Amino acid sequence: MRKTLMAIWLVLALSVPAAAQISEIRIADTTGDWGYPNAFRHYPRGPGYVRMSWVFDTLVWKDENGYVPGLARTWSFYPKIMAFAFELHPKAKWHDGRAVTADDVVFTISYFKKHPYGWISLDHVDRAEAKGPHQVVIRLTKPYAPFISDVGGTMPILPRHIWEKVDQPQAFDAPEAFIGSGPYRFKDFNKAQGTYLYEAFADHHLGRPRAERLIYVRSGKPLVSLATGEVDLANIQPEMAEPLRQKGMAIIQDERGWVKKLMINHKKPPFDDRRFRQALAHALNRQEIIDRSQRGFGTPASYGLLSLDHEMYNPDTPVYAHDPEKARALIAGLGYTKGADGILQREGRPLKVELLSSHITVGGQSVADRDGEVIKKQLEAVGLVVDLVNLEQATTDSKVKNWGFDLAVSGHGGISGDARILNEMISSQFGAGSVNSARYDANLELARLLDAQIPEMDVVKRKLLVQRIQVFHAEDLPAIPLYHPQSMAAYNPQKGIQWFFTRGGISKGVPIPQNKMALLR
Amino acid sequence: MDGRNVLSGEWNKRWTGIAVYLLGAAVLIYLSYRLPALLPGDFVTAMFASSHVTLTAEQDAQLRAWYSQRPDFGQYLLGLLRLDWGYSFAFLTPVSRLILEALPWTLLLAGSAHALSMALGFWAGVEAAWRRGGRAEKAAVGLMTVLEGLPEIATGVALLLVFALHAGWFPASGAQTVYARLSLWSWMLDVLHHLALPLATLVLAYLPGNFLLTRASMVMVLGEPFVQTARAKGLPPLRVRYGHAARNALLPMVTRFGLRIAFMVTGALVVETIHSYPGLGTLLFSAIAKRDLPLIQGIVLFSSLMVLAVNVALDRVYGYIDPRVAHAR
Amino acid sequence: MHVDPFGKLQSDPWFLSGLGLALLLGLAVMLGPLAAPYDPHDMSFVPLASPSAAHWLGVNDGGMDIFVELLYGLRNTVAFGMAAGGLALVLAALIGMAAAWYGGWADAVFMRLADVLLAIPAVMILIVAAAFFRPVPLSLALLLALLTWPSTAKGIRAQALVVKNRRHILASRQMGASNARIIIRHLVPELFPFYLIAFAAKARMAMFMEATLAFLGLFDPSRKSLGLMISFALKYYYLDIWWNWLLPPVFVLSLLIMAVTFLAVSLEKRFDPRLQEAL
């Protein structure tokens, strides 16, 4: 009798779904090396930030629906004193066992003021004060609309007891440099192999993470890696979706958080004339670019630069239809005539432009860029002479930064994140350091609007301003947004984790489905 | 009879032999050392103008400083002897460590591929030569000749496509599952699992050559009078084949084996790249892609040393295999 | 050597198949541009289209016709092989014969030089040169020739030494013929079969190298090559393109190398004096 009972109990115990604890999760990445996972060592691109986000928590975080608590349990804004108050989770701990307190937040802000972190801006922050062990008030000098996204959701909190003695954060590579309050401890990073190993931090205040170990593996063939079970999550090309679905994988698709852009050197004639830039827009056939270069997977972008899925997207942004005749007419209006060979020329000199093209990282993957070839053909059909130069991304970036180019094909994420991205990508005041910024200051009204949207704390009023900014961008075209490539990922649902694309992107707008919340549910 | 007689031909030959390899190594090392100067224009820009590395202003200045204070060749060599092989800019680790990490995999792959194909090819070649004229022999020669005409790229890609990408029976990349906490046995199986496809590709590439060479040598040897004598003496065929005849056919194989091992770094480069196997070939290729000069120099140096060492070792081995050579010393 | 050198070859199945393949491929190389329905750099087609009547092998990811790419890639590979093989042969012949004929210090110097070159891995130098200096393919072919002449030169030298001491040569010298005359009228032609073998071997290796370098992406990306096609097709492994995009260049490359291999093997069988009795 007893034996039978034991047997029944055993069968029941074994047939009950296994505890939600998984031994390891493996994630595939084509590049591999994104730098060491702390604020000063990770590479300045999305995947680099994500590698750090496992180890370091921010005050606020996001999931697929919007903002959720991070280190802070609650937060509120006090317009009268222009300050944000955060109440930290009392159980929050550092990986070395010490408690996370308001002092750490205060210290982090003053430390980042001294040693700037490129992903956030503390210009509008006056100072932070600890009002209690877990209450912190951050005072602003001026109103700052992107505060929750920026300081709240992107700024990693550093442990004071470790970093207060560090004068050279970039050189600090002792093991303590990686002590954070995030759900995972950093264990190992092999630069040559491009692999990362993290181990679960059982005492995390939001609960023990579901996977004991988190491993990044470098794999150039996500379809195979997923199908053979070598990895549990990978970014995929759209054509891989069906075969993977048949193998039982779950497929998720991102909102349109990444945009391909044609950078223009608007400091140089004839690109300095708005009409010429508009002519270029008419000359381009963006759907053709999508069909040829992305095999049809993509959506034409808004000329206002902001993502079509953004809350503040303006559907009435001006559009430039593919119209080669109009393009020619506009250019003719600038004094160019069509020569016998069909090439536009002025004063005997043909209209020659140099187009830079390169390998680009999209959502963490490196892809060859065919856009350049298609754009070249489209511009040549209108009568320009186009010299297509294929360079590596770093070289293109540096040429663009130094204004050593005519046109360049580029791209970036963040366009579904906070509308501050428009400031970064349009004006040189905010975008001086970015290789994706148009650095366009010629339109005073546009500049005024950009300045006005940052301190506008009223969401409705801010939306109006942002929508007008998009219209101006579309009219002036400091850069021409081309399209949003289709970004998809696949994961193995049998592991019990449901990965998702974050609404608005991780932190500032990183369109990668590696959100730590998926492992904390 | 005194082997140490400096004037004897063999002695001379031996040392000029080594001198030649030393010279070859020196040329290579010098060339790699001079590479920045040989590049057209400003070498830092030229180097990184077409590479994947993002140079911050700090790194750019650092590189320029490093290259302008280049030690002269003598100092460079001294540094090498002190085991200071330089620091990789792309991987931010000492070059020697990177090479040591990749070396075991190349040794495993190339070593076992050569050993397997040599053993198999030798055995098959000897047996085929013994059975000369028969149907099996003709078929084997035919098959091997066809196989000889298949380039490594073709076999490598075909194997990868069929067994890794479509069937999923073998991994498409890597030498082992990273960060896997496996017992020794499981780990060895895991390594073999990852090794299977690149090994198969290399064996298929090397086997035909070894087979045909052995067979040709054996056929020549079998025609020699001493073999007839052995047969006439009534010795068992196996003994005649291996004990007497094959040993003489061994010499060319050993030479070939030695040469292949000497050039191991580049020998398996394509196969390593196709199967993403993290050996020295892949490392060299990454180094070139990232324009990491110290790493390139380190690998070139290592390769030259390999060639030198293997040839010196080969020399000794000849002595054991061919008593005539040893006797002449 | 003067007596019906090619007689036995005609019945050798390897020679015949090698020759057949070579002729077929040679035809493709010669008539390639004429037979090609499109320009190889024409990107106007729908990318990754399946094979159809208009595109026999379909279209690649850049919108270029695969069949045309195949033809032009084959041409480039063959051209590289011929150039490198030919240059290596010429170099090896000149050096080998000079070393054999003149002997003395010329011989010593050249042979030592050959030994040193043999100690250097050609692949490494080629890869570094191709990556850093981006030379035109002809320069790379020349570089390859400069690195690979030693083994052939040694062989030619050995053969020349044997021929040098043959009676009719000695007779010519006795009769007062100049060095140049003897070399040109006797030495060069008598080594002819050896040239074929050497050329076949060197061309084979060169074509193999070209495919490898192209596969590794070390040539100009707009230069068509079988190796480059394979590398690109492999990137799209997840699409159903293995049979029309990946397989053809692999197949053609294999046929090419096989053709040269068969020719080399059969020629070696027939003409290499060391193997005369063996096979």
Residues A208-236 have pLDDT tens digits of 999 999 999 998 888 999 998 999 999 99
C-alpha A283/C-alpha A296 separation (Å) is 20
Report the percent of chain B where pLDDT is more than 90.
32
- B179–A397 CB contact, under 8 Å: no
C-alpha A159/C-alpha A173 separation (Å) is 15
- Tokens, residue C212: 């490898």
Q: Token pair 């080998």 is at which residue?
A: C96
- Tokens, residue B275: 């199967």
- C61–A370 CB contact, under 8 Å: yes
Q: Token pair 């291996």 is at which residue?
A: B242
Kindly give the pairing relationship between strand A298-300 and strand A479-485.
antiparallel
Structure confidence at residue B51 (pLDDT): 41
- Rounded to whole angstroms, what are the CA distances from A350 to A344, A345, A375, A483? 6, 4, 18, 30
Mean pLDDT of A100-121: 93
Q: For A450-465, what is the HEC assignment? A: HHHHCCCCCHHHHHHH
Rg (CA), chain B: 24
Kindly give the pairing relationship between strand A337-338 and strand A488-491.
unpaired
Give which of B13, B20, B53, B137 to mutate to test C binding, by max C Cβ within 10 Å: B20
Burial environment of residue A326 by CB neighbours within 10 A (0 to 12, 13 to 18, 19 or more): middle
Per-residue pLDDT reduced to its tens digit, A125-143: 999 999 999 999 999 999 9
Say how many CB pairs under 8 Å bridge A and B.
Answer: 61
- Other residues' Cβ atoms within 10 Å of the Cβ of residue A57: 25
Q: Which of residues 156 through 175 in chain B touch A, CB cutoff 8 A?
A: 164-165, 168, 171-173
Mean pLDDT of A384-408: 82
Give which of A370, A386, A387 to mutate to test C binding, by max C Cβ within 10 Å: A370
Choose among A191, A215, A223: nearest Cβ to B178: A215
C-alpha C134/C-alpha C218 separation (Å) is 8
- Other residues' Cβ atoms within 10 Å of the Cβ of residue C13: 10
Choose among A223, A373, A390: nearest Cβ to C62: A373
C-alpha A163/C-alpha C131 separation (Å) is 43
Touching check for B300 and chain C: CB below 8 Å? yes
- Rounded to whole angstroms, what are the CA distances from B5 to B1, B208, B327? 8, 42, 13
C-alpha B21/C-alpha B307 separation (Å) is 7
pLDDT, tens digit only, all 279 positions of chain C: 445 556 677 788 889 999 999 999 999 999 988 888 888 888 778 788 889 988 999 998 878 899 999 999 999 999 999 999 999 999 999 999 888 888 888 888 998 889 888 888 888 899 988 888 878 999 999 999 999 999 899 988 888 888 888 888 888 888 887 777 777 777 778 788 888 888 999 999 999 999 999 998 888 777 899 999 998 898 888 888 889 999 999 999 999 999 999 998 888 888 765 554 444
Q: What is the DSSP letter of B167?
A: S
- Tokens, residue A307: 């993502």
Structure confidence at residue A57 (pLDDT): 96
- Other residues' Cβ atoms within 10 Å of the Cβ of residue A373: 23
- Report domain extents, chain C: 8-278
Element (H, E) at A252: strand A250-253
Structure confidence at residue B221 (pLDDT): 83
DSSP secondary structure letters along A307-357: -TTSTT--TT-------HHHHHHHHHTTT-EE-TTS-EEETTEE-EEEEEE
C-alpha C188/C-alpha C159 separation (Å) is 11
C-alpha B207/C-alpha B147 separation (Å) is 9
Q: Taking CB atoms and an 8 Å cutoff, what residues of chain B touch A395?
A: 48-50
Nearest CA-CA partner of C246 in B274, A344, B6: B274
C-alpha B102/C-alpha B107 separation (Å) is 9
Structure confidence at residue A393 (pLDDT): 65
- A359–B178 CB contact, under 8 Å: no
Per-residue pLDDT reduced to its tens digit, B252-283: 888 888 888 888 888 899 999 999 999 999 99
Q: List, in sequence order, every residue forming a beta bridge with A200; answer none if it has no partner.
A: A184
- Tokens, residue C101: 């004929």
- Tokens, residue A389: 């130069």
Question: For chain C, how many helices (H) and strands (E)?
Answer: 11, 0
Position with higher pLDDT, A148 vs C47: A148
Chains with at least 3 CB pairs less than 8 angstroms from chain C: A, B
Touching check for B98 and chain A: CB below 8 Å? yes
- Tokens, residue A118: 């490129």
Structure confidence at residue C169 (pLDDT): 81
Q: Which of residues 236 through 295 in chain B touch A, CB cutoff 8 A?
A: 276, 278, 283, 286
Residue A36 in this model has a pLDDT that exceeds 90: yes
Per-residue pLDDT reduced to its tens digit, B159-206: 999 999 888 899 999 999 999 888 999 999 999 999 999 999 999 999
Kindly give the pairing relationship between strand A488-491 and strand A250-253.
antiparallel
Structure confidence at residue A91 (pLDDT): 94
pTM over 0.90: no
Q: Taking CB atoms and an 8 Å cutoff, what residues of chain C touch B150?
A: 254, 257-258
Which three-class secondary structure state does DSSP give residue A191? coil
Choose among C44, C46, C62: nearest Cβ to A370: C62
The answer to whether the bond into A270 is cis (omega within 30° of 0) is: yes
ipTM: 0.86
- C237–A377 CB contact, under 8 Å: no
- A221–B93 CB contact, under 8 Å: no
Choose among C61, C63, C238: nearest Cβ to A223: C238
What's chain C's length in residues?
A: 279
First to last CA, chain B: 7
Say how many CB pairs under 8 Å bridge B and C.
Answer: 122
- Determine the longest span between alpha carbons in chain B, in angstroms: 81
Give which of A30, A219, A226, A239 to mutate to test C binding, by max C Cβ within 10 Å: A239
CATH 3.30.450.20 fits C8-278, yes or no: no
Q: What is the DSSP letter of B55?
A: P
Chains with at least 3 CB pairs less than 8 angstroms from chain B: A, C
Q: Taking CB atoms and an 8 Å cutoff, what residues of chain C touch A223?
A: 237-238
Contacts of B83 (CB under 8 A, 6+ apart): B96
Q: How far is C130 from chain A (nearest CA, A)?
A: 17
